[in-house]
Structure formats: structure tokens, C-alpha cells
Amino acid sequence: MRFRDFRRLLRDERGAALVMALGVAMVLAIAGTSLIAYGTSNERAADRFKRSHDSYQIAVSGIENAVAQIANGTVSGRGDPYYFTSLAKTQTFDTNEAVVWDGVLWDDNPNNSTNPGGSTPYTGTPTDTYIPNLRWRLTSTSTVPAESGPGTISRTVTADVRLRPETSIVRDEESWEYVYSWKTGDPDGCDMELPNNPDVQSSFYVAGNLCLNNNSSIVGPQFGSDPDVKVNVRGNAILKKNGNDIGTSARPLTSLFVEGPLGCKYRANPYNYMCTDGPPPPGDHVVPDSQRGSPAITVPVAQFDDWYYVASPGPTYPCDPDLSSGTYPTFADNGAVNDGDLGTLAIDDMASFSCVTVLGELTWDASTQNLTVDGTIFWDGNMEFDPATVLDITYDGIGVIYLSGWFRTRQTKICSTYTPGGDCNYSTWNTDEDLLVVATGGQTDFSQCTACGIMLEQSSQFQGALYADWSMGFQNNSYVQGPMVAKEEVIQNSFTFNYIPPLIKVPFGMPSVTIDAWNILPPTNFTG
């Protein structure tokens, strides 16, 4: 091989090696650049994640600020759809981080008129003719600067805050001071009749004519500490027997209004336009003189359709398994409003159970015969207490039980407190702590009471308030302490009407009571 050829070969091998070396260097450079870029990308991703996390936490703080604003508001203001309008809804931090929040009040009662069957923003004001199911939908958006480079990172978080009416609210319905009968036009001339009740101590509001028969009398307070006894008759007052009195000289009524065109009638004597204390009859049986000009008191109305959807426990808010225990009633039904498909609930036949939701409670302790109520409860059917022997039930709490059907007790006492003799203790009942209301929308025919929604039989007692869309029946030495509202109170045998205590605060679900005071529950349903 000639030297010249050898040198060319050497040169070519050197060139190849050089090319190879240059290629390896380029690969290593590219790899190094990729590693640097990868590390930088990871660092930026970590920065973005950190800032996104920071942004989320700041957005959550906006939700917390909104909840605090609701909590710090008045109990009535919490249910105001324009509550947030005049409030500060932004916060800026030292690092130029900021958050902005706001709230929209929603009504989840599908019986609403704006969007029947669904939720809708609530723009109303409190009334006694519609029961909303209110929920604040809170939205909070945060903005934070990026960790490196220009731009910002934002997060939006939403959450719900349910409003629960205060357990007891100030009563605004005057009808709950009386035994209220709204029936008028009975063919026999008696729309509300007391047939055999010698010592009636309740206040009465009678939309039609009031009749006293046999030895019935309404008497006023005996002691200065006794509640008022007021009688307001929108029709005429008819005293059929010699022993009938509407107030006596020893126990005069607190007030007496008789608004009917004829006034009072005593036995076979003619009507007197005014019922006066003194001759001629019936003055000797009426104390004090009757007055005219009292304003009419509207009969309360129970919103059964609304409470079907809003009550808790109820058909749409059944017992929460995480909060409840025992074999509790199944409140959920087929979704048809007020059709009574759940049948008759006989609590006294059940073992102990506790049905609890975030909004209410119905608990039965079979060993102590104690019933606990809280909030507004709806059972799409009837309720009955019909034990084999006398049953003394003590109840605790403030609440309303709505029934689409009827309510019946037999030899059952349902009281807040008892006397040593085993009867309801009317002198120690604290209505601010314990007040049970039963409201019925259905009816059936009981013995001697046609189309009755409530029936107390055979020495039953009840301490609380009763409401029926139809009539109520009372038999065999039963008695009640508390207001009652019905088409008619049908009295058989001897029934005792006791003093009606002054109810200052009542359960939020009481018929025709305006809900205008709200508590808040912890926020839920976080998204974002």
C-alpha cells in the first residue's frame, strides 16, 4: 500500500471517529437539555400545583367568610334573599391574593309556584300560606399570582348551607289562644255545643252559635295566676238549661263577646240583644256583660302539601341511617302527596327506635314510654294509640306531627308532666320546653263522631295543641289542656276543658304560624 493511500485511509478513519465523537456529543447535549427542561417542567408543575392548592384554600376561606356572615346576621335576615347585597364580599391578602364570594338563596320545596317540581331561587318574604325549604348556594372565587412568570391562578368553590327554622318562634296567630270552632249554619242552631261539661275553663272562639246544655258552664279564672278565659261567639249564645252559665259572679270571664244578631237566649225566654249581668234572664247566668265589636279571628290553615315535601323526618327526608337506630318507621312513600299510603302508625306497639335527621327527630323509648319530638314531622297516614291497658306517655321537645289521615287515642295519656295521681300536671307544664302539636288532614267515622280527624276515647288525656281539617271527637271522661282548632269539637259524655296556657313561642311547624327565624346548618356539597 502506498503511503498516500494509507494516509487517506487514516484520514477517513479519523474523520469517522470525529463524526462519531461529534454525534455522541450532540446526543449528550440533547439529553442534558432534555433533563434540564424536564426538571424545569416538573418544577413549574409543582409550582402550579402548589399555587392551585393555595388558590383552593383561599376560595374555601371565602365560603367560610360567607357562612360567618350568615351566622352573624339576625335570625330573620338569614332568610332574606337580598341578604348579601349590602355586605362586603371580598378579601385581599398581603401577597396580592384575593377572594370574592356571594350567595343565592334557593327554595327546594317542589311545591313552589315559580318552578313546580324543582328548586328555584327564592325571592319571597315570610308568609303563613307557603312553607319554603331554604338553602344558600355559596360561590367563592380566588385569584393568586403564578409562582413564576406572568399570569394568575383561579379556583371557584361552591357549597350549600341549609336553613332550619328555629325550633320555637314567636306566635303570631291569635286563634291558638282558644278552643276554636269554625262551623256555621248547623240545622239544629248549635254549631258548637257543650252537652255535659260543668266546669269548663278554656277560652272559646265560635264562628257560629254556641249552645250549652244539661249542666254545662264556662267559668273564669279561679286564682290570679290562672290564664285568661275569653269567650268570643260570632253567632248567638244559647243557654238551654237552668244550670248553664257563661261566667259566674264568683268566677267571671276575662272577656265576653257575642256578635250574633240576636244575642243571648236563656231557656224559653226570648233573645236579648245584649247578654247582661242582671234581670231579666239570662243576665243572672252571664258575667260579665257581653260586648260587641270584637275583630274576627281567621281560622288557621295547615299547609299539608308543603309540609309533605319540607318536613324532616318526612316523605322526602326520611330517617338518616347514620343518625338513627332501631327499627324506625319508613317515612319515604310512593311520592303521591297526602294519599295516606303508609297506613296507621302505632308507635306504642313498636320496640324502641330513634328516627333522626339533620332537621328533626322522632324517638320512642318503649321501656320508659317516652316520646321525643323535634321539628316538623310528616307521616303520610294515620297515628293511633290503642293499648290493652292504660298507657302513660311522657313527651319531651317542641314539634309538630302532621298526619295526612287521622289521629286516635284510647285510654292513653300524652303529657309533658304528670301529677302524683297519674294525670297530666297542668300547673307545672312549661310550654317553652315541651309543646307537642298534632295536625290532621284526613277523617273517618268514629263512634258518635262522623267525619272526625281526631278522636280521644276512654279517659284519654292530651297536653299540647290539636288541629283538624275536619271535626274532633271526645268521649268517656277524656280531657285536654291546650288550644284546639277544628270544624267542630264533638263532645260525648263528660269532657274536661282545662286552662289554655299562654303560648308565647310555638313550634315552627304550627299551622298558620309565619316562619321568620332561621338557624344555619354546617356547609355541605363542596365542589371545585
pLDDT for the residue numbered 117: 80
Give the residue from 296, 306, 224, 292 showing the smallest Cα distance to 257.
292
136-194, pLDDT tens digit by residue?
Answer: 999 999 999 887 667 888 999 999 999 999 999 999 889 999 999 999 999 999 999 99
CB 454 within 8 A of CB 407: yes
Rounded Cα distance between 390 and 405, Å, is 24
Cα(first)–Cα(last) distance of the chain, in Å? 81
The confidence band for 335, taking pLDDT boundaries of 50, 70 and 90, is confident
Residue 449 main-chain phi, psi, to 5 deg: -150, 100
Which residue is it, cell 277524656? 478
Q: DSSP 3-state assignment of 82? A: coil
Rounded Cα distance between 118 and 116, Å, is 6
pLDDT for the residue numbered 398: 98
CB 247 within 8 A of CB 276: no
User: One-letter amino acid identity for 344?
Assistant: T
The confidence band for 260, taking pLDDT boundaries of 50, 70 and 90, is very high
Of 144-153, 366-375, 467-476, which range is least confident?
A: 144-153
Give the residue from 230, 263, 246, 251 showing the smallest Cα distance to 197.
246
pLDDT for the residue numbered 32: 47
Rounded Cα distance between 414 and 458, Å, is 13
Q: H helices within 226-315, ranges in order?
A: 304-310
Half-sphere exposure of 366 (CA within 13 A, CB side): 12
Rounded Cα distance between 325 and 328, Å, is 7
212-236, pLDDT tens digit by residue?
Answer: 999 899 999 999 899 999 999 999 9
